[in-house]
Structure 1
């Protein structure tokens, strides 16, 4: 009788242990990763496209990841404070789009000391403690847009260059690409090169000043992003100048730029894959947290190598925008840019 009771007790204990183990597995499977996305600013469309795509990543939609987006308001000190908040609140990982290539290193260091992986995206930061980076080759983009403008003006004449925020990696690298091409053509002169901080409104004002300072002398405009190129075009229109007579180029592939390519007002636009950069960054963050068993879910990996080990840098290909593919790209643009 005692033996039977002992067997029953043993079976009950085993059943309880099995139940506990199963519940632990279920809880582990349902772990929700708290991941922050610290982006330099949300005024312009491109970063809104980036964040919207991030929020549509399968891991976010199925509840595996809870994303919190932090608006850096184009201020490195704001981004530093946001990193400190994420460290204090125990975020599992951080996606970082820095406003300043140098200042952003302190933010990465704070996360590194807290053992929080940081995945860079879109713009670079000078830090050896970045877990990985996914973006596009901005030097190449600068070369593409400069060549497009110079070819339109016969590789001779005067151009102006509208730059991004001074000190941000995209501004630094796109300028390098712009000048790489311009140096090839001695008959091309850069009249002026100033920042408009990725802003359409600032670029409009800057271009108005240039049109007054150099009446009839500006042959081409190189805008280091679409918003600034579009601001320059708006200034031309307000001055009674047909934009088609002053070839203007931009980078990013925002909605109005795609429309500008269709109308012919914008001479060149190179689309930067916001979805690939943001969703690819989240895949890399999950790989850092889960390990090599994690399988990527973003579409960008169909054209990029995921590999057996995590690399320090991943380059998302650029997409040249033409009249032939503009409508297709516009049809894929399902985002509320009024956000």
Structure 2
């Protein structure tokens, strides 16, 4: 083929390819009024805000609408009631953080059976019919936190656990932390554990009690941020020798990390939870866009079903704490956050 003819053919092929991509791209748009909802408990907790920010960005880039919903209380029945209120609005899909796994099985199943896809994030309801689950690897988070604390203790010492029994992701973080310590650091002993249930006052009192019973207590781990507020206060009053390590951050925790009152925190990549959560929901709501080579048609299940998507996590210390402030993030992005 002559050079000129080859160039002409390639150009034609490029035009056809571009046209095809453009035509297919039009499918990735929402219909007028198509709305996706995010649902949480303790809706004022700062952790959710970056999740919704990127959930919203992904949706708006495709012409979709979003809404931030939930209950301000730490009450599974009230969260389920708010979930049901969302379902009554006939949403295109729901991204939910189920407070507890089993109570959400029936509401999620009811939603999916009615044609509304549900994706869980950060915490799961694995026995439900949810389409997918977006999370950081809670087992890796717990194990990594154990490595950080073990290094800080020099491989020897005593530690305590504050926990929130019954919340799937928290239980996994705690179990992984304890297992890692037992496996790799036999000279670091677990001497106390207490259920603080995300209550700073309970955490404060529990740490004082632990320290009285175990004067050599050198570290604490908790799977969330609220307990760390009380734990760090108690640790400071006890002389500042107890290293506090937690999961998740907020403005107060970041301030305390910078001041040395909290040793560090494991923080899931919240923005990716929201972004990937929306993409999974959209594709689950539009399964005609997907045609994998499997038996989904014969078996009658949504082809978008994925067991888990890992959004990754970061270790927050004095060195990088400034990168995790919500207000600075919102100002940089120029949005109104959950108010949009």
Band of TM-score, shorter chain: 0.7 to 0.9
Paired residues of 1:102 and 1:167 also in contact (CA < 8 A)? no
Paired residues of 1:136 and 1:318 also in contact (CA < 8 A)? yes
Aligned to 2:315: 320
Aligned to 1:8: none
1:329 deviates by 3.5
1:172 deviates by 1.6
Paired residues of 1:204 and 1:232 also in contact (CA < 8 A)? yes
Give the root-mean-square deviation of aligned CA atoms. 2.9
Matching of residues 143-158 of structure 1 within 5 Å: 143-158=143-158
Aligned to 1:272: 268
Aligned to 2:282: 286
Aligned to 1:234: 233
Structure 1 unmatched ranges of 5 or more? 1-24, 295-307
Structure 2 unmatched ranges of 5 or more? 1-25, 291-302
Matching of residues 1-339 of structure 1 within 5 Å: 30-54=31-55, 56-60=56-60, 64-71=64-71, 73-164=73-164, 166-184=165-183, 185-214=185-214, 216-237=215-236, 239-242=237-240, 245-291=241-287, 293=289, 311-330=306-325, 333-334=329-330
Quick one: structure 1 residues 205 and 49, their matched pair in 2 at CA, closer, same or farther if it must change by over 3 Å?
farther
Runs of 4+ in 1 over 6 A off after TM superposition: 335-339
Distance 1:328 1:45 in 2: 15
Secondary structure of 2:198's counterpart equals coil
Aligned to 2:17: none
Paired residues of 1:292 and 1:309 also in contact (CA < 8 A)? no
Quick one: structure 1 residues 29 and 213, their matched pair in 2 at CA, closer, same or farther if it must change by over 3 Å?
closer
Query: Which moves more between the two structures, 168-177 or 58-67?
Result: 58-67
Calculate the TM-score normalised by the size of structure 2: 0.76
Paired residues of 2:95 and 2:119 also in contact (CA < 8 A)? yes
Paired residues of 2:104 and 2:128 also in contact (CA < 8 A)? no
Aligned to 2:300: none
Kindly provide the CA deviation profile for residues 51-75 of structure 1, in whole angstroms up to 9, marking residues without a partner as x. 4554x42424886213141227222
1:309 deviates by 5.7
Distance 1:138 1:248 in 2: 18
Secondary structure of 1:312's counterpart equals strand
1:275 deviates by 1.3
1:240 deviates by 4.7
Kindly provide the CA deviation profile for residues 3-27 of structure 1, in whole angstroms up to 9, marking residues without a partner as x. xxxxxxxxxxxxxxxxxxxxxx9xx
